[in-house]
Amino acid sequence: MAAKLAAECIFCKIIRGEIPSAKLMETANSFAFLDIGPLSDGHALVVPKYHAEKMHELPDEFLADTMPVAKKIAQALNMDNYNILQNNGRIAHQEVPHVHFHVIPKPNTEEGLSMTWPAKKADAGKLKEVASNLKL
């Protein structure tokens, strides 16, 4: 499947070279560059060359290309600690409506991604019910 880019999307403009970026690498299906609002040095974005707002809308061939690119960036960072982050939808903290993956180095407790994880106690019956309703 060929790349599909949107006219007004900031990430599509970066991919087309209309907006400058600190490019790290490019494949037939992905484009990676440094984030202009980094949480730590080396914070990168991996963006599929297909305009889709949410991950479930992205063709598999573009999705499959993103993780090997993220892995290469993580290896180049040469850090023991890092996060791979991908958000879908505004209330899930997606700022740009184009699928993208953050590779965020975590060099220490002050820099990089900070988050809370409000885990709840799971009910075994509820887990079974939810699993059966997903029908994968």
43 is catalytic: no
Catalytic residue, chosen from 43, 51, 98, 100, is: 100
**Residue type at 126 in one-letter notation:** K
What are the angstrom distances between the C-alpha of 101 and each of 5, 31, 88, 97, 136?
A: 17, 11, 10, 12, 24
Tell me the two tokens of residue 124: 């075994």
Please, which residues have CB within 8 angstroms of residue 112's CB and are 6 or more apart in sequence? 39, 40, 43, 81, 82, 83, 104, 105, 106
CB 70, CB 103: distance < 8 Å: yes
* Start-end of H helices in 26-115: 60-77
Catalytic residues: 100
